[in-house]
Structure 1
Amino acid sequence: MIAIITVVAAFPLGCFLRSRLAASVAYGLAYLWAFTFQTLYLLLDSLNGGADPAFTTGEFPFEYGAVTLGVLVVGFGLLNLGHWLRARRRATPTAHPA
């Protein structure tokens, strides 16, 4: 779910919002909402004793933390790429008819 939020929201927020701070805060809030929802969903599945739980009891999920941190970093990279593209497009001179 956080990967979907990252792909759908990060680049467009960087392109459409003029302020990089506003875009970062908006992406951060969307990411945190999805991260909380996804973690709760996976935790409840693990506690319910499903056939293939996401987390094993008594073991800290370092891999889950590393992957979610990687998704967050990629998201901020996409956000900055969108912001850079917006600035570059605005700075490019347009040809005017004579």
Structure 2
Amino acid sequence: MVAIVTVLFAFPLGFFLRNRLAAYVAYIAIFAYSFTFQTLYLMRAWVGGNHTAFSADAKKLPLDYLAVTGSIYIVGFLLITLGHRLGSKRRSRTNAVNLDAAR
């Protein structure tokens, strides 16, 4: 779920918002909501006996889950940065022709 949210929202936030900090904060809010919902969904499945996402041992920390979601989180910030860079290039592009370069 967080991977889908990252793909759907991270690049467009960076591309369309002029303020990169606003894009980061919006992504943090969207990611936090979806991460919480995803964790609740996976915990319910774990309590029901599905040990696909988390280990069957309740005392073992889910570091693999942390690594996967953390890497998705970082990829989202990279997509925002890429989108902001491409969006700012598009916004600053001029349509005027430089006639001095033709000499």
TM over 0.5: yes
Could you say which residue in structure 2 is the equivalent of 1:92?
A: 93
Structure 2 counterparts to residues 58-73 of structure 1, below 5 A: 58-73=59-74
Q: How far did residue 39 of structure 1 move?
A: 0.6
| Structure 2: gaps (5+ residues) | 98-103
Could you say which residue in structure 2 is the equivalent of 1:54?
A: 53
- Of the two, which has the highest radius of gyration? 2
| Separation of aligned partners in 2, 1:92 and 1:53 | 49
Q: Give a deviation string over 1:24-65, Cα, whole Å, max 9, x none.
A: 111110000010000111111111223x44212222110100
Relative to the length of structure 1, the TM-score reads 0.89
Aligned with 2:91: secondary structure? helix
Q: How far did residue 95 of structure 1 move?
A: 4.3
Could you say which residue in structure 2 is the equivalent of 1:9?
A: 9
> What RMSD, in angstroms, separates the aligned Cα atoms of the two structures?
1.3
| Separation of aligned partners in 1, 2:22 and 2:67 | 26
| Structure 1: gaps (5+ residues) | none
Percent identical residues:
49
| Separation of aligned partners in 2, 1:49 and 1:77 | 36
Contact 2:11 2:82 in 1 (8 A): yes
| Separation of aligned partners in 2, 1:27 and 1:38 | 16
Structure 1 runs of 4+ off > 6 angstroms? none
Contact 2:14 2:23 in 1 (8 A): yes
Contact 2:6 2:31 in 1 (8 A): yes
Count of equivalent residues: 95
Could you say which residue in structure 1 is the equivalent of 2:22?
A: 22
